[in-house]
Amino acid sequence: MFRSLGRLAARRPLVVIGVWVVLVLAGYALAGLGLHGENLFERVTTGQPQVPGSQSEQGEQILAAASDVGESVTIALTRINPETEGLDETLLPVRAELASTPGVISVVDPLALPGGTSNPAAQPLLAADGDGFLLVAELDPSLTTAEHDAALSAVTTRLHAVPDELRPLAPTVVGVVGSSSLIVSAVTDQVREDLTTGERIALPIALLVMIAVFGGFLAAGIPMAGALASIAGGLATLLGLTYLIDVDAAVVNVVTVLGLGLSIDYGLLMVSRYREELHAILDVSDGGARARRRRGDGAVAQAVETTVATAGRTVTFSAVTVAVSISGLLVFRPSILRAVGAAGVGVVLVALATALTLVPALLTLTGRRLHRPGLLSRVPGVRSVLARTAEVSTDDGAFSRLAARVQRHPWAWFGGALVVLVVLALPVGHLQVRNSGIELLPANSTQRQFVDLLAEQFPATTSPAVTVVARTSVEAASAWSAQLATLDGVRAVDAPVTVGDYVTIGVRATTDDPGDEVAAGIVREIRAADPDFTIWVTGQAANQIDFVSALAAGVWWAVAIVALATLVLLFLMTGSVVIGIKALLTSALSLGASLGVLVWGFQDGHLSGLLGFTSAGGIETYVLAMVIAFAFGLAMDYEVFLLSRVLELHHAGYDDATAVRLGLQRSARIITSAAAIIIVVFGGFVAGQLLIIKEVGFALALAIAVDATLVRMVLVPATMTLLGRANWWAPAPLRRLHARFSLRH
């Protein structure tokens, strides 16, 4: 099959490329421009991730269904005394214009109430320091989506003009406009901006790395073309998924970056193997020139076919391994993890498709030009650098010498690497998980400033840390709420309010953080209570508890599925049980080290100044799951790259030590180059502003750095040397099974 794909690309390269051009243009047009109606960013969702069927989600659904209140659009005005003379008269035309806006059903501010600021109902609208107030416009809940958007836009525009109109009365007045829809828009806009920022940083640097690897623009441009095609395919895949499941806005960046990194990885492997095959065909002993005359363009076709048959099989095996790892997310209940799992598998398949079809077609068009040194090699200062970074034909290099040193003292290298990984993993011991809301936005975000301002100056308008939804009467709820006031960590309990057929009770904690352990303790105590009626406890802490419980319920299924599938795949590839077990253990060590540094940097806040974020006091729950799935998959990606070369040499009759040494030399340049590029790709997204994107980008970049250096270059050669022939052990029945179903070149 693989050789047939290579033959197709070699014989019909223009057809293959033409098909991809059409697909790429269609992908960008649909996902980016929304030519079919809505673009991808208009269809994604945002907000705290929830667990379907959980108590917190059921409570939120009850409140949403029973609510007959429309969205409120608010301007928080500060640095202006509500008692300022002439303020009420200045606000009269503002109220009138807002009230006459289609879709607005009420407009309120403290001065518009009977008695003005002395009215008790005005108190929630007045700033705690007496130097500000709120003006609120409520939208009709029965508006259609188009009517709602039009009303929201008109009201927002009018409110933004209010501070300028008040400056004659208060020259330093400041106004911040906010609403739930504006918060959602802020998150999705930040996702789009971070995606653009990451690509602007990552793609140029990745191109430079590939130029260093291949010694020229032509070879470097081929994986980049595959990467751009993968981005288009990934975005189109995500767009399709939005019609099947809810896709969180943050998933767009995470999954797109994965596809980008994998497509470059696979493109690197394919181009590198093609150059090796072309060298082998055209430089036959001393008759290179005669070989070129004799074989002509047939050499190119042969090199392409062999590349797809060998490296293409490795890429396929790698992609299947990564897809299996990511598919482990599908066993969890939270929708965001299912979306990441489904989208991740789809994007991996797109990256695989570009590597097996588009890249070989492009290689065919380059012909024998990749056999000749590029133009950069003629630059005197650059020539010596490229001689070291772009050389593909020697088995004696830095990596083989490193392997030889490791093999001379394997126990020392193994022990040293193990100690480093364990020390890096230690912070995992105090890991805290979070399901943050507005905290994900950067501190300079207008909507985050709006929410923070309400919490600081207008606390009565903010939601309580914990909300209890009860199916009972107001009288029964009032009697029971007195017990809630005695719970540890409770500052106050709001009076029960009827919402449809239910009653809600707001429980305010002694903390300003609705997701910390104080709020979580209140949730646990309320849920442990036994009133005479049914209750649902909601809020950020409740949502976190339900999310963590859902992770705990599915984690062992996910681990079992991924571990078993990995063992089976590596066994079919190598015929060894030992190698699969060793791969799982080394990858677990690498993951632990990466998560430890993530906790130290983001939860403990040691990297907040360097990377420009405010710690949320924990690691996002779904970030934790995504990082483990993606990092494990990428680690196995490099394991496959290395093992495929070691296996080739092992099957060719080389002894184990030589096979490991030469296999590392032949694969490590690609592994380290691919790792450097994917580190740049993920690192580019650390420059973004959304906290979840920073966490994922940092954690995955670090995981790849640790795995491609300490694990692949040191730990794997050391363990394979220590194990010797035991590396290839398998029980006799399994050896017979492997003989029938093995996956070899």
CATH number of the domain within which 340 lies:
1.20.1640.10
Whether residue 86 sits in one domain with residue 155 = yes
Q: Which pair of structure tokens corresponds to residue 455?
A: 């919490």
CA 475 to chain centre: 47
Which residues share a beta bridge with 137? 73, 107
N residues, the chain: 745
Tell me which residue of 707, 570, 702, 721 sits closest to 657, measured CA to CA: 721
Query: In this structure, is residue 311 part of a structural domain?
Result: yes
Annotate 149-183 with DSSP letters as a single string. Answer: HHHHHHHHHHHHTHHHHHTTT-TT-EEEEE-HHHH
Residue 118 Ramachandran class (φ > 0 left, ψ -120 to 50 alpha, else beta): alpha
pLDDT at residue 531 greater than cutoff 60:
yes
Task: Show the 3-state SS of 649-681.
Answer: HHHCCCCHHHHHHHHHHHHHHHHHHHHHHHHHH
Give the whole-angstrom CA distance, residue 623 versus residue 551: 12
Whether residue 300 sits in one domain with residue 326 = yes
Helix residue ranges, H only, 328-467: 335-353, 359-366, 380-389, 398-408, 410-425, 446-457
Annotate 619-634 with DSSP letters as a single string. Answer: EEHHHHHHHHHHHHHH
Q: What is the DSSP letter of 53?
A: T
Task: Please compute Rg for the chain using Cα positions.
Answer: 30
The SS3 call for residue 132 is strand
Give the whole-angstrom CA distance, residue 109 versus residue 136: 6
Picking from 137, 159, 178, the residue at the C-terminal end of a domain is 178
Query: In this structure, is residue 99 part of a structural domain?
Result: yes
Whether residue 500 sits in one domain with residue 617 = no
Give the whole-angstrom CA distance, residue 278 versus residue 481: 79
Q: What is the DSSP letter of 249?
A: H
Q: Are 470 and 505 in contact (CB under 8 A)?
A: yes
Q: Which pair of structure tokens corresponds to residue 237?
A: 């895949």
Whether residue 657 sits in one domain with residue 715 = yes
The per-residue pLDDT for range 484-496, each reduced to its tens digit, is 989 999 999 999 9
Give the whole-angstrom CA distance, residue 461 versus residue 466: 14
Q: Is 290 or 96 the better-scoring residue by pLDDT?
A: 96
Helix residue ranges, H only, 283-358: 288-295, 298-327, 335-353
* Domain of residue 506, CATH code: 3.30.70
Whether residue 553 sits in one domain with residue 533 = no
Q: Please state the rounded mean pLDDT for residues 728-738.
A: 86
Give the whole-angstrom CA distance, residue 663 versus residue 108: 73
Lowest-pLDDT range, 232-241, 285-294, 417-426, 440-449?
Answer: 285-294
pLDDT value at position 295? 39
Percent of the chain clearing pLDDT 70 (strictly above): 93
Handedness of CA 360, 363, 367, 371 (dihedral sign): negative
Which residues, 6+ apart, have CB-to-CB distance to 745 below 8 Å? 309, 310, 313, 314, 644, 648
Mean pLDDT value across the chain:
85
Phi, psi of 585 (to 5 degrees): -70, -45
Q: Which pair of structure tokens corresponds to residue 585?
A: 């253990």
Whether residue 530 sits in one domain with residue 580 = no
Q: Which pair of structure tokens corresponds to residue 76?
A: 């928080």
If one counts the domains in the chain, the total is 3
Biggest CA–CA distance in the chain, Å, is 102
Q: Over the range 59-97, which residues count as b (16 or more CB within 10 Å of their CB) and which as e?
A: bbebbeeeeeebbbbbbbbbebbbeeeebbeebeebbee
Tell me which residue of 144, 88, 266 sits closest to 677, measured CA to CA: 266
Residue 612 Ramachandran class (φ > 0 left, ψ -120 to 50 alpha, else beta): left
Token pair 């197709």 is at which residue?
8
The per-residue pLDDT for range 652-704, each reduced to its tens digit, is 888 888 888 888 887 787 788 888 888 888 888 788 888 888 888 899 899 98
Query: In this structure, is residue 658 part of a structural domain?
Result: yes
Token pair 């596809």 is at which residue?
259
Whether residue 720 sits in one domain with residue 610 = yes
Lowest-pLDDT range, 98-102, 105-109, 229-233, 579-583?
Answer: 229-233
Tell me which residue of 272, 265, 354, 288 sits closest to 9, measured CA to CA: 354
The residue range of the domain holding 486 is 464-538
pTM of the model: 0.81
Q: Which pair of structure tokens corresponds to residue 528?
A: 């442990």
Which residues share a beta bridge with 104? 139
Q: Please state the rounded mean pLDDT for residues 590-614.
A: 91
Query: In this structure, is residue 417 part of a structural domain?
Result: no
Q: Are 52 and 335 in contact (CB under 8 A)?
A: yes
255-690-148 Cα angle (round to 5): 90
Q: What is the DSSP letter of 374?
A: P
Secondary structure tally for the chain: helices H, strands E: 28, 11
Annotate 473-485 with DSSP letters as a single string. Answer: -HHHHHHHHHHHT
Whether residue 88 sits in one domain with residue 123 = yes
Q: Which amino acid is at 197?
A: T
Return the number of other C-beta atoms located less than 10 Å from residue 397's C-beta. 15
Handedness of CA 168, 170, 173, 177 (dihedral sign): negative
Give the whole-angstrom CA distance, residue 428 versus residue 422: 10
Query: In this structure, is residue 600 part of a structural domain?
Result: yes
* Domain of residue 165, CATH code: 3.30.70.1320
Give the whole-angstrom CA distance, residue 338 versus residue 330: 5
Token pair 């917190």 is at which residue?
56
User: Quick one: which H or E segment has residue 26?
Assistant: helix 13-28
Q: Is 416 or 7 the better-scoring residue by pLDDT?
A: 416
pLDDT value at position 294? 41
Whether residue 242 sits in one domain with residue 199 = yes
Give the whole-angstrom CA distance, residue 673 versus residue 668: 8
Picking from 121, 150, 178, the residue at the C-terminal end of a domain is 178
Give the whole-angstrom CA distance, residue 685 versus residue 687: 5
Whether residue 478 sits in one domain with residue 564 = no
Q: Which amino acid is at 242?
A: T
Phi, psi of 248 (to 5 degrees): -70, 150
The per-residue pLDDT for range 351-397, each reduced to its tens digit, is 999 999 999 999 998 888 776 655 555 555 545 544 554 444 566 77
The per-residue pLDDT for range 622-648, each reduced to its tens digit, is 788 888 888 888 888 888 888 888 888
Handedness of CA 307, 310, 311, 316 (dihedral sign): positive
Q: Is 624 or 108 the better-scoring residue by pLDDT?
A: 108
Whether residue 478 sits in one domain with residue 329 = no
Structure confidence at residue 102 as a pLDDT band (50, 70, 90) = very high
Which residues, 6+ apart, have CB-to-CB distance to 330 below 8 Å? 337, 338, 341, 342
Give the whole-angstrom CA distance, residue 245 versus residue 475: 41
Return the number of other C-beta atoms located less than 10 Å from residue 174's C-beta. 15
Q: How far is CA 371 from CA 209, 292, 379, 655, in A?
A: 19, 11, 18, 31
Whether residue 574 sits in one domain with residue 532 = no
Query: In this structure, is residue 436 part of a structural domain?
Result: no
Picking from 538, 563, 597, the residue at the C-terminal end of a domain is 538
Cα distance from N-terminal residue to C-terminal residue, the chain: 11
Q: What is the DSSP letter of 35?
A: T
Percent of the chain clearing pLDDT 90 (strictly above): 31
Q: Which amino acid is at 483?
A: Q
Structure confidence at residue 47 as a pLDDT band (50, 70, 90) = low
pLDDT value at position 419? 95
Q: Please state the rounded mean pLDDT for residues 26-34.
A: 82
Query: In this structure, is residue 431 part of a structural domain?
Result: no
Query: In this structure, is residue 640 part of a structural domain?
Result: yes
pLDDT value at position 172? 94
